[in-house]
Amino acid sequence: MVTAIVLIKTEASRIPETAEEISAIQGISEVYSVTGEWDLIAIARVAKHEDLADVIADKLSKVPAVVHTTTQIAFRAYSQHDLDAAFALGFE
């Protein structure tokens, strides 16, 4: 799985609506409204690196109120939550 963190600037008057629209995109697992320089942060999780182009360039960046994005691609996950989930696959 490939994970990307997308920092998003939007039109200020449409932050909640933009977050809802982005969260409906297949491949986007989470969207957060945040303080600071960026308005939203989205987490994209896709099967292949090439799928990021479909999710981010072809869909997310074309949401009407999105003004600018910057994408960070994750190399490794270090949180205990992610590691526990990976080793618990298939066990109930």
Instruction: State the 10-residue block means of pLDDT for the chain, 92 residues long.
Output: 96 97 97 97 95 96 97 85 59 52
pLDDT at 80: 64
pLDDT at 88: 58
The vertex-45 CA angle with 31 and 67, nearest 5°, equals 45
Q: What pTM, to 2 d.p., does this model score?
A: 0.83
Q: How far is the CA of 9 from the CAs of 27, 46, 81, in angstroms?
A: 19, 22, 29
pLDDT at 20: 98
Tokens 């008057």, residue?
13
* Rounded Cα–Cα distance for residues 92 and 85 (Å): 11
Residues whose CB is less than 8 angstroms from the CB of residue 91 and which lie 6 or more positions away in sequence, other chains included: none
- According to CATH, what is the number of the domain 2-87? 3.30.70.920
pLDDT at 76: 85
Domain residues of the chain, as ranges?
Answer: 2-87
